[in-house]
Amino acid sequence: MNHDHTSAAPTAVPVASRVAEAASNGDAALPSPDDVRGAADVLRRLCDGLNAAILGQESLVELVVVCLLARGHLLLEGLPGLGKTQLVKSLAELLGLQFRRIQFTPDLLPGDIVGTPILEEQAGHRRLVFHRGPVFTNLLLADEINRATPKTQSALLEAMSEHRVTMLGETHPLPAPFFVLATQNPIELEGTYPLPEAQLDRFAMKINVEGVSAATLQQIISTRHHGRPPEMSTVVESDEWGRVLEQVDRVHLPAAVANYIARLVSASHPAESAAEEVRKFVRYGASPRAAIALAETARARALLRGRPNVGFDDVRAVAAAVLNHRILLDYSAKMDGWSPGRIVSLLLERVPELARDVPEDVKG
């Protein structure tokens, strides 16, 4: 536990109440021990399948499954050739979900994603008929999303937020479940367009995909001809997955943990942070959507680890992936060696898990 008793920001308690209300279990009972064990077994099968497809990336696999459990969209960033696309393909195969892939390029148009109205003749009359695009699927792989122009990137906004597409004044619901898993190359590479903040905020998590060790590389080249992974088959049926998602919603988020989440997010804002580095280098802190994403992904991790209650360790484990892409730094931060990840690490070090000035009913 962090024993730094730095006082919380003035608005931390009311924010904590809002987070607890938004992420509370309501009147749902905690999952039973049998339910927790059953869900953990299903998730273990899924993780084992992904680890067989993508070698040497166990931490990455766990975060991907956590994000999916939290019903969040995921952004994977890394250099080409690290297995990002194969990870998403394998996930769809293991879950038996309908899968579509869009290769983002500079000439891609919004209609290539959501669909387009086409003039057709029916029963002697001409009318516009909406032809659905590849976004109408369960799992959408937006490959190299930052290769497309901002206008095309924004075509995903409504779909990611509302799970629907509006065209010609008519609303078309997307299939359920619906997940967007996007990959992007590092934004410093030539020919890339950084995602706008509004779209970045729609992703529950952003994970940086690192390279693997020499031992893992040797295993890949020794066991996989031309780098082809083993064939995947469905290991989690749709009804099993639905039951697991129900258990995620029943995982208990204690008020003290909700308050901790709220104070972490509040402390990322220059006007409310006690950290001099945040006030100096951060232009905009994380959004309320970040607080909700922290709560939901922490719930998912608790269930993955076989627990019916969220702990502080669950929040700390997912904080970087949830907050990094939601913190916008001042231009001088990079010159002084500061990154969003370093800011998040600072917040985790400075913000205490339990605040002295929080009422007892919130602490307990």
Same CATH topology for 1-30+251-364 and 45-236: the answer is no
- pLDDT under 50: residue ranges of the chain: 1-20, 22-27, 361-364
Query: Mind listing the pLDDT tens digit for each residue in 81-103?
Result: 777 788 888 898 999 888 899 99
Three-state secondary structure call for residue 283: strand
CATH superfamily to which 45-236 belongs: P-loop containing nucleotide triphosphate hydrolases (3.40.50.300)
Looking at residue 4, its pLDDT comes to 43
Looking at residue 358, its pLDDT comes to 52
Question: In sequence order, which residues have a C-beta less than 8 Å from that of residue 217 and are 6 or more positions away?
Answer: none
**Fold entry, domain 1-30+251-364:** Helicase, Ruva Protein; domain 3 (1.10.8)
Positive or negative CA dihedral for 96, 209, 55, 143? positive
CA 188 to chain centre: 22
Q: Can you read off the two tokens belonging to residue 36? A: 């927790």
Q: Can you read off the two tokens belonging to residue 316? A: 């700390």
Looking at residue 28, its pLDDT comes to 57
Q: Are 39 and 307 spatial neighbours (Cβ–Cβ below 8 Å)?
A: no
Domain ranges of the chain: 1-30+251-364, 45-236
Looking at residue 18, its pLDDT comes to 46
Give residue 287's identity as a one-letter amino acid code.
S
Q: Can you read off the two tokens belonging to residue 360? A: 């007892």
Pairing state between β 139-143 and 164-167: unpaired
Per 3-state DSSP, the chain is made up of helix, strand and coil in percentages (nearest 5) of 50, 15, 35
Q: What is the CA radius of gyration of the chain?
A: 22
